[in-house]
Amino acid sequence: MTDRCAELAAGLAEIQARIQSACAYAGRDPGEVRLLAVTKTWPAADVAHLVDLGLTEFAENRDQEAAPKAVELAAARPGAAVRWHMVGHVQRNKTRSIVGWADEVQSVDSPRLAVALAKAVAAARTRGERTEPLSVLLQASLDGDPERGGAVLSDLPELADAVVQSGELILRGVMTVAPRAMLPPAAFELLATAVDRLRKDHPEAIEVSAGMSGDLEAAIAHGSTCVRVGTALLGYRGLASP
């Protein structure tokens, strides 16, 4: 094992222990909480190490970085069953590229974006570049801050309808990033309430992507089914990085 691989193995063991104990504390089955490794700013070689350590789900926040990384990983670990998730702001002119590498887009925050993604999926299907429909999560904004992206909670039902009506997207649930100005437990509780409401009309919206390196325990306590971890697994990204 290389030093970096050993470092990643240690980070992974620590995160898995945190998920285990957060689940024990919340009385939940750890099998209900998926770990998404957020590999933005880190090289494909790190993703390959994480694949060797048994991880299968990876997330990126920029198409320019993710598209070549997914290609590099496929070359480094041919046949590995990995799934890539887009968790960053999606520019509508990038949808064609994104549907080329992403299995799931967690950051759908407007009906216009849903329509653009659906068109891109249909076009990729026609070209024979994609066979699977695209899974999507609705990104919820808990404080309405446009910088962070996300739809305000009162817009989620309309957004969910747009996703379902698009015909090419599969609604899987919701995602959020806790606002800095809110205590994480309060933020995740607010999200849980919104998800309960959404599920009345869309029972298929089962995924709750919430919790990152700093707040995954609070997210798990409030029903997260998917934690997105970068720093605590791979290290600090440095000041200049997104």
Ligand X SMILES: *Cc1c(COP(=O)(O)O)cnc(C)c1O
For ligand X, the binding residues (CB under 6 A) are: 38, 40, 61, 87-88, 177, 212-214, 228-232
Nearer residue to ligand X within complex by CB, 95 or 209:
209
* DSSP per residue, 4-42: HHHHHHHHHHHHHHHHHHHHHHHT--GGG-EEEEE-TTS
Report the distance separating Cα 215 and Cα 200, nearest Å: 27
Name the closest residue to ligand X (Cβ).
230
User: What is the nearest approach in angstroms of ligand X to the Cβ of residue 54?
Assistant: 19
Type of residue found at 166: S
User: What is the nearest approach in angstroms of ligand X to the Cβ of residue 99?
Assistant: 19
Q: Is residue 208 a contact partner of residue 173, using CB atoms and an 8 Å limit? A: yes
User: What is the nearest approach in angstroms of ligand X to the Cβ of residue 178?
Assistant: 10
Nearer residue to ligand X within complex by CB, 97 or 213:
213
Report the distance separating Cα 226 and Cα 219, nearest Å: 9
User: What is the nearest approach in angstroms of ligand X to the Cβ of residue 91?
Assistant: 15
Q: Is residue 140 a contact partner of residue 150, using CB atoms and an 8 Å limit? A: yes
Nearer residue to ligand X within complex by CB, 34 or 125:
34
Nearer residue to ligand X within complex by CB, 133 or 149:
149
